[in-house]
Amino acid sequence: MDDDSSHRQVAEQVRGEILALAPGSRIASHRELVRRFHVSASTVADALSLLAQQGLIESRPGAGSFRTENRPTPRPGDTSWQETALELSPQDDSAPGIRRVFDAPGLLTTLTPSAADVIDLNGGYLHPDLQPLSMLTASLSRAARRAGAWDRPPPGGLPELRDWFAAELGGGLGRQDILICGAGQSALSTSLRALCQPGDPVLLESPCYPGATAAARAAGLRPIAIPLDISGIRPDRLDEALSHTNARAIVVQPLFQNPTGASLTPQRRDELREIARRHGAFLIEDDFARYMAHDDGKPLVPPLISDDPDGTVVHIRSMTKVTSPNLRVGAIAARGPVMARLRAASVIDTMLVPAPLQYTTLEVVTSPSWRRGLATLGKTLKHRRATARDAIAAAFPTELTHYPRGGYHLWVSLPPQSDSRQFAAEALTRGVAITPGDNYFTSGGGSPHIRISYVAAPSPADISEGIRRLEPLVSKYICEGAG
């Protein structure tokens, strides 16, 4: 047998023998299995480890491996009481209408893995073939060898990593203006809870990243939708909403917005900062897609916080999208007294970000492969975007209203009167996972759209095939609308 692929074969053959034994019986020794299957000791060790993970055997030091004992059947319970306990309990001193809502269907839809026979045009993370796994593995190995890898890090994060983020953001930011956090979603939740009180309004783009809506509702805030166009959130509507609501926080994605792909123009960036400053509101800049600019999407405008001496902007930057969903490290940047509030909220939420993850991130961003990898990814995403665009043009009757040169998705119009959730459900029966546009509206409405991601599928050919499978469904919806 080939050692590199045989441990599963060994485990499968031994599995049958184990099931024939009485619970508590000793199985063949490690040495005997090596001799019987003509494989290496490490292959047998891997096979036994797999069987232990499956709950079939347990190891007893000095005695060998044994079939696990039968575990007692758990007594049936009745958890129906929780339905009443989880209902909102009114408090005499609580403001009417304030409640924290822990419901995130939009996030869960995107995070749920697709079945093996489904083409994933839904996911928001790079397919493993696109992830810089060699660099991540090498960085993790170097990080683990650092002298302080398992020491408790400072509450604000490793000084060296904070210095890197400060230099990356520019605008004269220093270490004191940076807080290391657990990636973008965690940073968004921390920022909203630090800046707002339960019951406060928070202004969100419409359509909007579902994680922002979920974080706002979990903090007991009232999301208020502000429309956007291809240049980003509309300043006139933002100014009007701030005047009427006295909101103290606005959340924007300035580059390649999720889901529309819109990017703020230089003029609009200045307008947003001025409007927020005039109303005394914080502008939370969720810069999630900066490292996902395509080969033809550069140079990029600097982040809003780089020209914000008055501390209007609270900036969020994450490393997760361009590395791995498991490298959950990011940063919050802010000037002024607000940083003390953000640090306190972060400590309450997560205590600290594990030092091994921080050191791994530091190794990644200081590696010579970091910038080269971003350049390669930019070329790859440009090609995948073009593949998706061509397939959409063949399958859908309307042209794309926006063709962003960054990010990982396209915002596609459906025939009028379509139900995007029903469309997504029917697409799944055809072996394609897509994201319904309704997930991106705080009220669940909006014109019918779907979001098509082109980074989660294994290859450009899969992207084309997945969109091709939608063509009969699009035709069906057109006919139903005409009827």
Q: What is the pTM of this model?
A: 0.86
User: What gap in Å lies between CA 355 and CA 347, rounded to an integer?
Assistant: 15
> Which sign, positive or negative, has the C-alpha torsion 148, 152, 155, 157?
positive
Tokens linked to 124: 């928001």
φ/ψ of 313, rounded to 5, equals: -95, 135
Residue-level pLDDT at 482:
56
List the chain domain ranges: 3-67, 105-128+371-482, 133-367
Measured between alpha carbons, how far is 404 from 294 in angstroms, rounded to an integer? 9
What does the pLDDT read at residue 96?
55
Counted residue by residue, the chain has a size of 483
321, 288 Cβ separation under 8 angstroms: yes
Quickly list DSSP for 274-297.
HHHHHHT-EEEEE-TTGGGB-TTS
Distances from the Cα of 96 to the Cα of 192, 199, 201, 349, angstroms: 20, 9, 14, 26
Say if CB 138 and CB 364 are below 8 A apart: no
State how far the Cα of 217 lies from the Cα of 98, in Å rounded to an integer. Answer: 10
How far is residue 451's CA from residue 123's CA, in Å, rounded to a whole number? 10
Query: Quick one: pLDDT at residue 95?
Result: 54
CA-based nearest residue to 435, from 414, 417, 460, 416: 414
Q: Where are the alpha helices (DSSP H) in 221-263?
A: 235-245
* Pick among 3.30.360.10, 3.40.50.1860, 3.90.1150.10, 3.40.50.2000: CATH of 105-128+371-482: 3.90.1150.10
pLDDT, position 214: 93
Write the DSSP assignment of 188-204 as a string of letters: HHHHHHHH--TT-EEEE
Beta bridge partners of 59: 65
The pair of structure tokens assigned to 344 is: 């306190």
Residues facing residue 53 across a β-bridge:
none
Structure letter (DSSP) for residue 5? H
| CATH code given to domain 133-367 | 3.40.640.10
Compute CA distances 290 → 170, 207, 274, whole Å: 14, 20, 23
Closest C-alpha to 338, from 305, 301, 302, 289: 305
Q: What is the pLDDT of residue 61?
A: 82
pLDDT at 69: 83
Whole-number pLDDT of residue 89: 56
Contact (CB, 8 A) for 396 and 472: no
Number of CB atoms found within 10 A of residue 39's CB:
20
Alpha-carbon gap, residue 66 to 478, rounded angstroms: 62
The rounded average pLDDT for each run of 10 residues, N- to C-terminus, in the chain (483 residues) is 68 88 88 88 88 87 84 80 74 57 76 86 96 97 94 95 97 96 94 96 96 94 95 97 97 97 95 97 97 92 95 97 96 97 94 96 96 97 97 90 94 92 94 95 82 97 98 88 59
User: Rounded to an integer, what distance in angstroms lies between the CA atom of residue 336 and that of residue 316?
Assistant: 16
- pLDDT score recorded for residue 287: 97
Q: State residue 94's pLDDT score.
A: 46
Q: Is residue 170 left, alpha or beta, with left meaning phi > 0 and alpha meaning psi from -120 to 50?
A: left
Give the count of beta carbons closer than 10 Å to the beta carbon of residue 232: 22
Amino acid 93: pLDDT: 42
Q: Nearest CA to 207 among 190, 221, 187, 227?
A: 227
The closest of 209, 189, 218 to 101, measured between CA atoms, is 218
The CATH code of domain 3-67 reads: 1.10.10.10
